[in-house]
Homo-oligomer: A and B are copies of this chain.
Amino acid sequence: MQYHIEVTIGLKDGMLDPEAATIRKALEHLGYPTVSLGLQKKFIIDLDEASSDEAYSKVDEMCKRLLANPVIHNYDIVIEESI
């Protein structure tokens, strides 16, 4: 079975995000003041696995080992079956 997975990775609350701060300042200089601005990264993964539980645990391992840094990042995994 093929699964379509979306992994969203962002910094944990309280972590400084200089990239977001810089973009926010640049927008302000262009005349677009914002109340707040945050950044996340999204991975869209198609995976062949026997079950959605297995797909979830595989993607969870991928996040822990490569995609995210569990010390500073939160991540969120959404799985759906592909047609």
Measured CB to CB, the residues of A under 8 A from B are 2, 8, 23, 26-27, 30, 32-48, 58, 61-62, 65-67
A65 contacts across to B, CB distance below 8 A: 30
A28 to chain B, nearest CB (A): 11
Check if A42 sits within 8 Å of B45, measured CB to CB: no
Check if B36 sits within 8 Å of A45, measured CB to CB: yes
A45 contacts across to B, CB distance below 8 A: 34, 36-38
Rounded to whole angstroms, the CA-CA distance of A67 and B32 in the bound complex is: 12
18 A-B pairs (CB sep. < 8 Å):
A23-B43, A23-B66, A23-B67, A27-B62, A34-B45, A35-B46, A35-B48, A36-B44, A37-B43, A37-B45, A37-B46, A38-B43, A38-B44, A39-B41, A40-B41, A40-B42, A40-B44, A41-B41
